[in-house]
Structures are given as C-alpha cells and as structure tokens.
Amino acid sequence: MTAVWNRGERADDAAAEREFARVSAGIDLDAAARAIERGAIATPTIASADVSELAGCRVALKAESLQVAGSFKLRGALAKLAALGARADDGLIAASAGNHARAVAQAARLAGVGCEVFMPRDAPVSKVAAVERLGASVRLSGASVEEALELAIARADETGAALVHPFDDLDVIAGQGTVGLELLADVPELARVIVPVGGGGLASGIGLALRRERPDVELVGVQASACAPLAAALAGAGAGGTPEFPAAATIADGIALKHPGRFTLPLLRELLSSLETVSEDEIAAAMVFLAERAKLVAEGAGAVAVAAAMSARLPPREGTTVAIVSGGNVDNGLLASLLRRHETVAGRRVRMFTRVPDRPGGLADLLKLIADARANLLTLEHVREAVALNVRETGVELTLETRGPEHAEQVRQALERAGYDVRFD
C-alpha cells in the first residue's frame, strides 16, 4: 500500500471551499435514510480479530457485500428513485458494468417501473444475466462504462426516462451516505473509516455523514495502484472541473474510473483525510483472506479497504477502524482462481514430477506412498514426451494438496527414501 495524498497537502482554495458548501447543501441524508427503508437492509458491522492483528488496531468490517443485490449501490438507487417521485413512472435508465446496473434494476422492480440498462459489450455474461433476471432491458453498447454512460444519457434525453448516474448525483450520494449513518449508530468508538473510491459517491456520502456528527473520525480513501487518478485530481482540484486520466486494467474493475465526478471531487477534496493505493497482489490477498477467514465473498473493488487495513501501513489509531467491504459480486471463476493461487503460494498446493516403471502396478506403488503420507491427489498426467526417460519408464506429473510447506517436504522425503527422483515445481 502507498499513501498518495493527504489532507495536509491541500492548498487553501476559497473557490473550492465555496464549491464544497454549495454541493453539500443539496445532499439530504435524512431523506435518503427514509428512502432506503423500502428495499435495502442495514448491513452488519463485524469485528475481525484477524484483520485487527494485522493492522495493529481494532478493526471491524462493514459487510455491504451482504446488501440486497450484492453491494452498497442499492442505497443510492433507492434514494434517487424516491427523489424522482412521479418522474420515475417514465422509467429508469442507467449505465454500468455490474453493481450499479443490478441496483437500479432492483429499485425499478420494487417500484414497478421500467428499466433500461446500458452495459459495455464485454460485460461478464453472469452480470448481464443477473440484471435481466430483475426484469431490466439490457443494451450491450460501448467499449467501456464511460461510453455506455454517454449512450445512456442520450437515451434518457430521447425518451424522457430518468437517468440514474452511478455516482455523480446528489441523491445517489445521499443514499450511499446512509452507510455512514449506520456506522455512527453501530460503532460507538468509531475512529476511522476506510472506503473504496472509484467515482467517489460512497466516500463522499460517508464523509458527509461523519462531518455532520463526528468530524474527528478519519476518512481514508483507497484506490488500486493500477488505476489511481484521484490523487492528481485532488491535488489540482478547484471549482473548475474534473481532470481525466487514463483508465487501466485492475482486479478492482468496479473502481477503475478515469475521474471522479463534478460533484464528488470537491466533496472528496474536503472530506478525505488521506488517499492510499493498494497493489493487485494486496487486493487478491484481501479477497482470499475475506473468503477464508471472514466467510465474506468480496469482489476486487469491495476488498481494497480491507487490503489497506491488512497492509499495516496505516498508523494505529485508538478506537475502532471500520473497513467497508463494498460489494460481493465477483465472478466465480476469478475467485476460484485466486483461491487456487493462494494455496500454491502458501505451499498447500504443489506440483511434482517423477518417473515410475512403465509396468502394471508401477503407478499404484507411487500413489500408495502419497496416500500414506496423507497428501491428497488432485490431478495426474502421464508424460512420455519431451523428457528424458529410460526404456520401460514413464514420467508422471501430479498436483497434490498438502497441509503446507513442511508437509510437502515430508512427502518429498518419503518418496525419495523409496527411490523416486522427485522434482517440485
């Protein structure tokens, strides 16, 4: 994890302060709290001894991954729906590659209104199917979320349906801010909140809730180091716009945006205490940690706050630090791949190559030794080409599940004592 910006680097800027005051005045957290009651749940805040030990201070997890539709986004969608009133009768339009699309489709279903969602052409099939199951009409258009959003804006102008922006909307920001209201109610010794930052709606909303009741609470934003344009935007932000920076591929694709919004930028500049970045390996480790130790499924963007806490590079702070697990809509194949990768790194999954006599029972003798050593065979492949083999001999490549590096070494020694030449990859 790397610190890329902190409030102390902010230059005094009267124009920016006026812009913050203007934008924040239009955000009604109390109305949003009433609006989300129709479809969202108050998600649990779960103490985590394991993360606390790594962080060096008391840490709890706000499990927005357990929210209806799988992420915090439903809060903003419901708040916008309530603010629209009768205007929502003409239908809702949104653009998203995943979480926001599901949230708006869910909100429209609850209200009994139509919903049209623009998603990038390469959006995961599972996410498209999830939105369609909620009754929304999906249009696969554009090479990116930004292009899909442009098409959605044009469609809203054409049809008169209401656009629900994923983050740059005062009502949406207010809805996301209800996460902060719940933290204030549930965590008496709240000292710091660590929050993922993409477009900035969640961090802005939580920051406003904290500013209203507990301005002493630190708000730490986190981005993926592969795509972290916000630091430069914050450093150069005044009241005059939102600089754009190239997006990049990251496992935290849900927060890989080119820039914050025209509303969220002045809010973030005032509300964030610091901005941190985490690496791809740190994000992957946090996803695996949450699955194995907290029994929470988190997508990459949803795990970056936990990755920041686990890094132990944030200064310890008295009271409770809360890391927001913002979403759990991860592709099953990706999560399975990360779990297998972690088992390999941890030495619990090893690949070995050896040679056995090419005769009946030759392989069975090897497998009995492995079973006696209490290792679990996952895969086995005969290798008869591109390796040096004696006559009447065959190579075998095996993937084994062990209890860890020490157990893997015990397996190796058992095989070598029996005369096998073993190579572990």
Give per-residue pLDDT as tens, 281-304. 999 999 999 999 999 999 999 999
- The catalytic residue among 73, 80, 127, 258 is 73
Longest CA–CA separation in the chain, Å: 85
Q: Name, in order, each residue with C-beta under 8 angstroms of 326's C-beta and a sequence gap of 6 or more.
A: 64, 65, 71, 72, 195, 196, 202, 254, 301, 302, 305
Q: Which fold has domain 2-71+169-340?
A: Rossmann fold (3.40.50)
What one-letter code names the amino acid at 81?
A: L
Using pLDDT thresholds of 50, 70 and 90, give the confidence band for residue 240: very low
CA dihedral 259, 191, 170, 249 (to 10 degrees): 20
Q: What per-residue confidence (pLDDT) applies to 67?
A: 97
Q: What per-residue confidence (pLDDT) applies to 238?
A: 44
Concerning whether 326 is annotated as a catalytic residue, the answer is: yes
Specify the CATH superfamily of domain 347-424.
Answer: ACT domain (3.30.70.260)
Write the pLDDT tens digit of every residue in 21-51. Answer: 999 999 999 999 999 998 999 999 999 999 9
Q: What per-residue confidence (pLDDT) applies to 25?
A: 94
| Distance separating alpha carbons of residues 269 and 230, to the nearest angstrom | 10
Write the pLDDT tens digit of every residue in 138-183. Answer: 999 988 888 899 999 999 999 999 999 999 999 999 999 999 999 9
Residue 405 parent element (H or E): helix 405-417
Report whether 85 contacts 68 (CB < 8 A).
Answer: no
What CATH number should be reported for the domain whose range is 91-163?
A: 3.40.50.1100
pTM of the model: 0.87
- Tell the residue number behind the tokens 């979320």, with chain if given: 145
Instruction: Retrieve residue 159's tokens.
Output: 């049809």
Concerning whether 80 is annotated as a catalytic residue, the answer is: no
Residue 237: pLDDT over 60: no
Looking at every residue in the chain, the average pLDDT score rounds to 91
β pairing state of 349-357 and 393-401: antiparallel
In this chain, the answer to whether the domains covering 91-163 and 347-424 adopt an identical fold is no
* Cα 5 to the center of its chain, rounded Å: 21
- Tell the residue number behind the tokens 């801010």, with chain if given: 177
Domain ranges of the chain: 2-71+169-340, 91-163, 347-424
HSE-up of 245 (CA within 13 Å, CB side)?
Answer: 18
First-last CA distance in the chain: 30
Q: What per-residue confidence (pLDDT) applies to 254?
A: 87
Average pLDDT over residues 389-398: 87
Alpha-carbon distances of 237 from 12, 13, 123, 233, 270, rounded to whole Å:
11, 9, 32, 6, 11
Of 144, 88, 87, 89, nearest to 120 by C-alpha is 144
Query: Phi and psi dihedrals of 225, rounded to 5?
Result: -65, -25
Q: What per-residue confidence (pLDDT) applies to 247?
A: 59
